[in-house]
Amino acid sequence: MSSFALVVTTSPIDNKTNTALAFAEQLLADGHILKGIFFYQDGVLNANKYVQTPSDELNLLTAWAEFNKKTSTPLHLCYTAGERRGLTDSDDDQFNHNIHPAFTISGLGELVVLTCAASKVVQL
């Protein structure tokens, strides 16, 4: 079996994000090791706990959080990409902490660690 690192660069409204989640679930179902998932570029928007999803669509925030809870797979969020897109972990009066707790705030160094630890890297 192989070990994988997954890099998600697509927003929660992009169909590729559904594919990334399904791919991650299938990797584990097939017995592979998933070292972690790194959310980068527009992928960081998947961690915004204030995104509203229509009732007839898959709520990817909830789906990623459930995946994390069920599998203990780390969900790393690029902090710099998040800041550029309005995500913050600040509780300052002028900001609202809007990052879902299932996500771990990380930097690009964590991406390097993940890719070095995995035998295969897949970006969606």
Alpha-carbon distances of 12 from 29, 45, 85, 115, rounded to whole Å = 23, 7, 13, 23
- Out of 6, 78, 87, 124, the active site residue is 78
Q: Which two tokens mark 41? A: 């570029």
- Please report which residue ranges of 1-124 form alpha helices under DSSP H: 15-29, 60-71, 79-84, 108-117
Tell me, yes or no, if 78 is annotated catalytic. Answer: yes
Active site residues: 78
